[in-house]
Copies of this chain bind each other. A is one copy, B any other.
């Protein structure tokens, strides 16, 4: 039985909180009162608990403080479609219907700490447009996923995912060359539209090519440029910087 993540609040000061790379959410709050309120809104909880489920009423969005989150839908015939993974610093939970209901479910992939941003603190115009620009960021990620699903083969999809994770970890101050996959092969498959077996086989193949090393959930990227070439990723500003500093100048 899964309990709601809201059950055991853990209080922290905002200024001690630093998802490396900065808290996107904080940019949305310009009044000191709002920030103060926010300090009471940190929650931490364990693997496999839901932050929210599709259809629930939504009065807030979230920022990942540490850990990781999986966003997903359940199809008509009970299958899962993963929409994305959120890492520290990422905003999630913006996708609500006009009636303020959740359009997707969000579940913890590991022990995770998140921040709650009630919509009530955001009644200010500037914040509305900031929200919109975060929503736009989300859309861009979505577009990338569509592109991947529509045009790439298994190698390209896996390479894309790993390149994306590397890039995002790097932009937050973590290593781009070695990290842990917090999601299962199953999750990866549901995200990329591949069977688990294909995910496993593809990782093995990339390893044989010398592009990376995999052991269960541990990944080490040996050839960033090669990986990116296989991925055929469209560039964005973060990726460009990542590329210049990491891909082209091996660490």
- Which residues does A use to contact B, with CB under 8 Å? 73, 75-77, 79, 81, 83, 94-98, 103-104, 123-125, 128-129, 131-133, 135-140, 142-143, 145-147, 149-151, 190-193, 232-234
Contact = CB atoms under 8 A, between A and B. Distances in A.
A106 B181 CA distance: 37
Nearest to A191: B150
A232 B191 CA distance: 19
A133 to B, nearest CB: 4
Contact of A142 (B96, B98, B131, B146): B146
Given A81-B150, A98-B133, 16 more contacts: A75-B147, A75-B151, A75-B234, A76-B232, A77-B232, A81-B146, A81-B147, A94-B136, A95-B143, A97-B133, A98-B137, A104-B143, A125-B125, A142-B142, A150-B191, A150-B193
B98 A136 contact: yes
Q: How many copies does the complex hold?
A: 2
B234 A73 contact: yes
Contacts of A190: 150
Contacts of A133: 97-98
Contact of A128 (B125, B146, B193): B125
Contacts of A83: 143, 146
Given A123-B125, A139-B142, A193 B149 contact: yes
Nearest to A103: B140
Contacts of A73: 143, 147, 234
A77 B156 CA distance: 13
Contacts of A192: 150
